[in-house]
Amino acid sequence: MNTDWLTPVVFEEHVSDEEEKVTVSTRLSGDGIALIEVRGMGSVNGMNAAAQSFERGFACLQDDQAIRVLLELNDFQGAPLRAQLQLLDWMLKYQKRFDFMIIIGGETRALKIARKVQSWLPFGKRIVFVTALQDGLERLRRRSEGEGGI
């Protein structure tokens, strides 16, 4: 994903689980835009590594600064249920930080589950699923420029 337009970058990190089955790349701008790309097959250890990375990124921002997330999952093959539940627990813990989240990816089993779970979340209306990266970037741009909606 070309992220040259994301400035100023205050945090950038690439993490994976011990087996390197999954990699998570995170770039965070000073104005609270997070671009996250997940590749491979998720795992509990991979989720732990990603969560710790996200928290290191949050530490680069003010405590009350809202975060707008673009999560790219086109090369993500899914994760065990336990790892997905860990992610859900983590998202609930930090839900007040999320202004909105745009999830980009095809119709994988993991995304089908995520769409269902999203409808149960208290902040579910702030999550949008799209299939094309360009659509996600355009929605992010519009929202960031105050055009409303996701």
User: What is the reported pTM?
Assistant: 0.86
In a domain, 2, yes or no: no
Give 62's pLDDT tier (boundaries 50, 70, 90): very high
In a domain, 1, yes or no: no
In a domain, 149, yes or no: no
In a domain, 37, yes or no: yes
Q: What is residue 12's predicted lDDT score, i.e. its pLDDT?
A: 95
Q: What is residue 107's predicted lDDT score, i.e. its pLDDT?
A: 67
Domain that holds residue 75: 9-144
Domain of residue 23, CATH code: 3.30.750.24
Flag whether pLDDT at 27 surpasses 80: yes
Flag whether pLDDT at 149 surpasses 70: no
CB-based burial label for 18 (10 Å; 0-12, 13-18, 19+): exposed
**Phi, psi angle pair for 98, to nearest 5°:** -85, 115
* Structure-model confidence comparison of residues 18 and 106, the more confident one: 18
CB 95 within 8 A of CB 61: no
Q: What is residue 16's predicted lDDT score, i.e. its pLDDT?
A: 93
Q: What is residue 5's predicted lDDT score, i.e. its pLDDT?
A: 66
Flag whether pLDDT at 26 surpasses 90: yes
Domains identified in the chain, total number:
1
